[in-house]
Amino acid sequence: MFDSMLPLSYYRKVADLSAEHNVSVVQHIESHKICIRKMMQIYSLPVYEQLFYNPVKGLPRIYAMYEAPDHSFLTVIEKYISGDTLKEVLEICGVHSDFAASSPRADLYAAGILMRVLLTGTDANDAMLSHHLPRKMRAIIERCTQLDPRKRYPSAQALQRDIRKLMHK
């Protein structure tokens, strides 16, 4: 489905946001809309397909995707959202965070938020919204989203192990 580069050809690179992570600012050549292009070697196509077909409020809308024929990378064009970064907002509020640089435990926090959004439709940590989730799924999400990084899963493998246990019951 996402094997044509044609949709990507409508965007021209404006600037690198992170050359190390292959993230660039791009502009649509006809509408002049500014977007973000991410080229990833590690990705989950089913997750991006879900986000493409079912946009989630609070997450950037995905406009186009291309997966290499050998599945070696995925390119995503998504909505550019201007404003303060999470790091800037937390600094303004005087909250220390580990979001300054990507780290495994910061990534696990993001995975927990993504799971919560996909399962409840919101990123709010509201017991009323997540009461329909199985207790063990709530526990997994809560562990991922602990404010203290030391209380989160120590690795993605540990998170994966708990999710697999939950799925095989």
Against a cut of 0.75, is the pTM above it? no
**DSSP code at position 31:** T
Q: Rounded to an integer, what distance in angstroms lies between the CA atom of residue 106 and that of residue 110? A: 6
Residue 34 φ then ψ, to 5°: -85, 135
Residue 112 has pLDDT above 80, yes or no: yes
Pair 151, 143: CB distance under 8 Å: yes
Quote the pLDDT of residue 114.
85
Per-residue pLDDT tens digits for 55-101 = 888 789 999 999 999 999 999 999 998 877 666 666 665 555 555 45
